[in-house]
Amino acid sequence: MHATPPIEQVLPAQWESWVSANDAVVLDVREPLEWARGILPGSTTISLSYLPASLDELDRTTPILVVCRAGNRSMLAAQFLESNGFTKAANLTGGLTQLGLA
């Protein structure tokens, strides 16, 4: 059994360039009440608790930048995605609080 590589960490100031450079999508795993405070443009919204049942809604070959309020749920989600065959999942370091959307 081989160790999985660490999840890539994307700095808040670089999220747009990372998404563009990787032709990626943004996945917001917060809860609906949190989404009401604002989401990044073009984000797909699936709460972390619904992610296991929603994997078929995402393309396993498209890179995904996972975001949440502080970076903890998104880290868990990125690890979960990669362990379920997704090509590339990255975490927004520090979460959306760093961008004023939490």
Residues β-bridged to residue 64: 25, 89
Residue 13: CB atoms within 10 Å? 10
Backbone dihedral angles phi then psi of residue 26, each to the nearest 5 degrees? -105, 130
Is 68 an active-site residue?
A: yes
Q: Which are the contacts of 20, defined by CB distance < 8 A and separation ≥ 6?
A: none
Find the helix or strand (DSSP H, E) in which 74 lies: helix 72-83
Active-site entry in 66, 68, 81, 96: 68
- Where in the sequence numbering do the catalytic residues fall? 68
